Amino acid sequence: MLAESAGRYQVGDASQDQVRASQDVQRAVLNILEDFDSEKGRLEQTQHAVLNILEDFSLEKTRLETTQQAVLNILEDFDSEKARLEEAQRATLNILDDLSVEKTKVEESRRSLEAEVAERARAEHEVRQRTEQLEAVNKELEAFSYSVSHDLRAPLRHIDGFADLLRKHAASMLDEKGLRHLRTISDSAKQMGTLVDDLLSFSRMGRSEMHFTPVNLDLLVQDVVRDLRQDTEGRNIAWTIGVLPTVSGDHSMLRQVLVNLIGNAVKYTRNRERARIEIGCVGASQDETVIFVRDNGAGFDMQYAHKLFGVFQRLHGASDFEGTGIGLANVKRIIQRHGGRAWAEGQVDTGATFYFSLPKGGGK
């Protein structure tokens, strides 16, 4: 019984050991399962993290591909820009070459211009010297002319006076030929006296001081025509006088110009049954006023027009028209002193037109 009880006790202990062992295993398995669940959770988290990483990697890959494409585009643009820069560089080099050539040309032009300026300065210096010399010579000639003309007046008066005395004293003893000789001496002396007076006037005109004032040409022309009434009395003259402006000039000198020009028109239309004399102003100009005196008189040949305004230059004989050849020279000198011009147009036996200009705003 004891043995049997002992046997049962042993069996019971063994079962208990198995149970405990089974429970330990079960607990171990449960622990393992718990660890597995934990590991599974960690694996799932890891898997999820890996998936997130893969998604991020995919996005990064897309960004990298986009960036790569952008870089490729930039490289393409860079190549294009490089080509444009190379073209611009070549163009710049060409421009620099052209600038170098142009610079050479400019330097050559500058040297040429400097040489030309130096030559002009030298020429102007020579012109000034010659002008000064000519002015000195002209002054000497004017002084000489004035002196000679002045000194000739007394002998001429004596010749004319003694010829007149001789004619009165010896008229009964002289035949017609002798009296004609005396008249020729007297007429020549008077003509010479007139010439001397004109020379004196011409000389004074170049030496006298000018006084610029407003000159009403309308009134001045009327005054001159009125003073010529003795020469026009009994003649058939058609006067046409246009509206004339007021100019700046020396009144007495401009009067002398009009006396000469209008007086010539009266003189050279003497042989016309009906003379026509026109005085007017040429169309408006910004720089100058141009006055003309036109007639239908004897006229002149244009090939000799350059002689008209010279001293002692006459295109008609003294037997046809009296004069000394000083009047138009005086006209030219007066107008030049005013800073203007004098010229003429004409046709033989048809008439002539004489012009003179005066600068607006005063003379030189």
Please tell me the distance from the alpha carbon of residue 190 to that of residue 226, in angstroms, as a whole number: 26
Q: Give me the pLDDT at residue 153, please.
A: 67
Residue 84 has pLDDT above 70, yes or no: yes
Q: Give me the pLDDT at residue 314, please.
A: 58
Farthest CA pair distance, the chain: 237
Q: Which of 111-125, 162-176, 307-321 has the highest mean pLDDT?
A: 111-125
For residues 82-87, give the mean pLDDT: 85
In sign, the C-alpha dihedral spanning 245, 201, 261, 342 is negative
Tens of pLDDT along 247-290?
A: 999 898 899 899 989 999 998 898 899 999 999 998 767 789 99
Please tell me the distance from the alpha carbon of residue 138 to that of residue 126, in angstroms, as a whole number: 18
pTM equals 0.52
Is 321 in a helix, a strand, or coil? coil
Comparing 19 with 266, which gets the higher pLDDT? 266
Nearest to 293 by CA among 356, 228, 206: 356
Q: Give me the pLDDT at residue 158, please.
A: 75
pLDDT bin (cut points 50, 70, 90) of residue 216 is very high
Residue 244 has pLDDT above 90, yes or no: yes
> What DSSP character marks residue 233?
T
Buried (b) or exposed (e) across 237-253, using 16+ Cβ within 10 A? beeeeeebeebbbbeeb
For residues 339-361, give the mean pLDDT: 91
Please report where in the chains the tokens 């007297």 appear, as a residue: 186
In sign, the C-alpha dihedral spanning 203, 207, 208, 210 is positive
Q: Give me the pLDDT at residue 149, please.
A: 62
Please tell me the distance from the alpha carbon of residue 277 to that of residue 234, in angstroms, as a whole number: 16
Please tell me the distance from the alpha carbon of residue 337 to that of residue 326, in angstroms, as a whole number: 17
Please tell me the distance from the alpha carbon of residue 218 to that of residue 242, in angstroms, as a whole number: 8
Please tell me the distance from the alpha carbon of residue 258 to that of residue 292, in angstroms, as a whole number: 10
How many other C-beta atoms are found inside a 10 Å radius of the C-beta of residue 227?
13
Residue type, 76: E
For residues 155-172, give the mean pLDDT: 78
Please tell me the distance from the alpha carbon of residue 228 to that of residue 151, in angstroms, as a whole number: 31
Please tell me the distance from the alpha carbon of residue 48 to that of residue 42, in angstroms, as a whole number: 10
Helix (H) or strand (E) holding 56: helix 2-170
Alpha helices (runs of H) in 171-239, residue ranges in sequence order: 176-207, 217-227, 229-232
Rg (CA), the chain: 62
Residue 326 has pLDDT above 80, yes or no: no
For residues 296-317, give the mean pLDDT: 74
CATH superfamily of 213-364: Histidine kinase-like ATPase, C-terminal domain (3.30.565.10)
Task: Indicate the range of 144-158, 217-231, 239-253 predicted with least confidence.
Answer: 144-158
Please report where in the chains the tokens 């141009």 appear, as a residue: 290
Task: Indicate the range of 70-79, 153-162, 211-220, 328-337 predicted with least confidence.
Answer: 153-162
- Average pLDDT of the chain, as a whole number: 81
